[in-house]
């Protein structure tokens, strides 16, 4: 599914799950939908499962937004207390759209608690009190971190077994009747060989041929590039490398201290989630990475550079980025907004030392190059997240790995197939939706939210122009919108390599020629510009 298709689905007010491989533009799509709503005077609740993810989308953690905090279960007393909080009641009552990013890191019980709070505050039995919910994330990436809360003894929602910890196992997820939007376009990686390798890990078809590509990128520590980020699985390695490298540079470090404004609890969330440290120590020659996007200055989260000195007047660092441009880097703000107003913010230079970072901190970043030591990987998804941070194979420098690095969860493999199939069914259903009917759904949703309908000429509302039903399409193409499996992929690759035409392949597989071309692109066999 394309971003454009997914956006049109969101505009109808449909509950949705946005997923796809790293680099498919999930966060970008969320930001587009937020802009669409705000243009129509609707302020969505923008949240994420972690503080880091929340800062990427300009929101707050779902734990803070819902009032559940760090709790792992919810007693009746807890629910009553939350429902009596004026701030929480106001924000939930006013919310018509709830966005939750990085939902893969949200445990099942947490989603259940959020649902319970929303239903209680809104006084409605529908899932999440009847508001539109949009979840975004990729379950192949980092899973929920299991925590316990010894202070709670009376349980309204029980702690679950690890095997069932994922959010999609929650009753609230199932009852929300989510339209799955599996994004298939790729905007981060620029290398078809590398894309194919990542897809192989994701589909559990990683073999010796794929391993050989990674073997070609293996290097020794003494031969690894110096001035690019190093990714480790543990914080102790990151701190050690950054401290060692900074200490090697001559002179005393310049210190830049984070400032803040707003309620202490919200400021704490921002401080914890901000990729820039509270106290940033810099020296001339230090390797840094930008931690925030700035379109005007043409840098983004993940842009690398080197400190070339400090402005004699302002004291701010001068950074030379890889393109050769030199920038004076000034403080920027990370804020939590509610109903269009800033409730809390922190201000710091959008920089951090970048000789080394953790894999967890790297989730959501796009890097040109990285040195990785994956020998300490201990969780499903860690190796995959690390590898997918870089845009191409030539930007990867591997120090080592262990037997778990390229493993994926069998449970996630199975559920991913269901997500893909559901997404294709969603595409098929919306493809034959009447254009006027779709436009009316979008307008009705804006009215229900209390917003103002305006023209949306830049975004077409239809996917295909047809008066035939879904069943009619399958009379000619029996497998239209059905999920591909590994056997079909192998057969498709083999027949195309033998010179079979796209038209003949379409007949062979019972699909449209466009579906054949899209699959060949997905497999890295055909260039996107076909």
DSSP states of 267-331 = HHHHHHH-SS-SEEEE-TT-EEEE-S-BTTTTB-TT-EEEEEEE-TTT-PEEEEETTS-EEE---
pLDDT value for 155:
39
**Gap between the Cα atoms of 123 and 17, Å rounded:** 24
pLDDT value for 462:
41
**Structural domains in the chain plus CATH codes:** 3-186+413-448 (3.40.50.300), 192-401 (no CATH)
- 479 burial (CB, 10 Å; 0-12 / 13-18 / 19+) is middle
Query: Residues 193, 524: contact at Cβ < 8 Å?
Result: yes
- List strand residue ranges (DSSP E) for 226-276, in order: 230-232, 254-257, 259-261
3-state class of 490 per DSSP?
Answer: helix
Q: Which residues contact 439 (CB under 8 A, 6 or more apart)?
A: 461
What is the mean pLDDT for each group of 10 consecutive residues in the chain (530 residues)? 88 93 80 92 88 68 83 82 88 93 88 94 93 92 57 37 71 92 73 80 83 89 83 85 92 95 89 87 92 73 85 95 86 79 90 85 75 84 83 87 82 86 81 76 92 68 40 71 77 88 89 79 59
Identify the CA nearest to 94 among candidates 129, 57, 127, 56. 129
The gap from C-alpha 289 to its chain's centroid, in whole angstroms, comes to 19
Paired with 329 in beta bridges are none
pLDDT value for 161:
37
pLDDT value for 152:
37
Q: Over the range 62-85, which residues count as b (16 or more CB within 10 Å of their CB) and which as e?
A: bbbbbbbeebbbbeeebbeebeee
């Amino acid at each position: 599914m394309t971003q454009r298709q997914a956006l049109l689905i969101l505009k109808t007010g449909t509950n949705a799950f946005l997923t796809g491989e790293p680099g498919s533009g999930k966060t970008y799509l969320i930001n587009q939908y937020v802009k669409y709503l705000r243009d129509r005077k609707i302020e969505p609740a923008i949240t994420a499962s972690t503080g880091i993810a929340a800062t990427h989308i300009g929101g707050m953690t779902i734990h803070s937004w819902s009032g559940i905090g760090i709790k792992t279960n919810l007693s009746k007393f807890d629910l009553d207390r939350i429902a009596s909080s004026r701030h929480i009641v106001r924000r939930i009552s006013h919310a018509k759209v709830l966005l939750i990013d990085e939902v893969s890191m949200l445990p099942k019980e947490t989603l259940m608690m959020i649902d319970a709070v929303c239903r209680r505050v809104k006084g409605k039995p529908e899932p999440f009190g009847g508001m539109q919910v949009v979840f975004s994330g990729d379950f192949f990436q980092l899973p929920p971190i299991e925590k316990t809360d010894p202070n709670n003894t009376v349980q309204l929602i029980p702690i679950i077994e690890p095997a069932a910890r994922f959010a999609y196992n929650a009753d609230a997820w199932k009852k929300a009747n989510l339209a799955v939007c599996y994004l298939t376009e790729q905007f981060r990686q620029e290398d078809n060989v590398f894309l194919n390798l990542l897809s192989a890990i994701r589909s559990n078809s990683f073999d010796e041929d794929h391993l050989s590509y990674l073997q070609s990128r293996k290097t020794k520590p003494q031969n690894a590039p110096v001035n690019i980020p190093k990714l480790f699985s543990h914080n102790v390695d990151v701190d050690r490398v950054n401290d060692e490298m900074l200490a090697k540079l001559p002179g005393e470090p310049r210190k830049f201290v984070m400032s803040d404004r707003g309620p202490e609890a919200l400021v704490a969330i921002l401080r914890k989630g901000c990729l820039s440290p509270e106290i940033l120590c810099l020296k001339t020659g230090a390797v840094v990475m930008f931690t925030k996007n700035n379109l005007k200055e043409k840098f983004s989260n993940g842009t690398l550079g080197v400190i070339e000195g400090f402005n004699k007047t302002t004291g701010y660092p001068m950074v030379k980025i890889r393109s050769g441009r030199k920038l004076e880097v000034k403080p920027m703000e990370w804020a939590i907004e509610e109903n269009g107003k800033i409730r809390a913010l922190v201000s710091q230079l959008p920089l951090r030392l970048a000789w080394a970072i953790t894999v967890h901190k790297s989730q959501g970043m796009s890097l040109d190059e990285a040195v990785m030591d994956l020998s300490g990987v201990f969780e499903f998804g860690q190796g995959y997240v690390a590898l997918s941070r870089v845009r191409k194979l030539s930007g990867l420098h591997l120090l080592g790995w262990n037997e778990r690095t390229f493993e994926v969860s069998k449970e996630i493999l199975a559920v991913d197939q269901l997500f893909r199939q559901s997404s294709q069914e969603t595409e098929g259903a919306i493809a034959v939706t009447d254009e006027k009917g779709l436009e009316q759904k979008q307008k009705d949703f804006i009215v229900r939210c209390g917003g103002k309908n305006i023209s949306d000429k830049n975004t077409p509302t239809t996917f295909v122009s047809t008066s035939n039903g879904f069943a009619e399409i399958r009379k000619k193409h029996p497998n239209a919108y059905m999920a591909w499996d590994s056997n079909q992929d192998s057969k498709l690759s083999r027949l195309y390599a033998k010179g079979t035409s796209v038209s003949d392949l379409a007949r062979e597989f019972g699909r449209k020629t466009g579906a054949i071309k899209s699959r060949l692109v997905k497999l890295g066999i055909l260039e996107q510009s076909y």
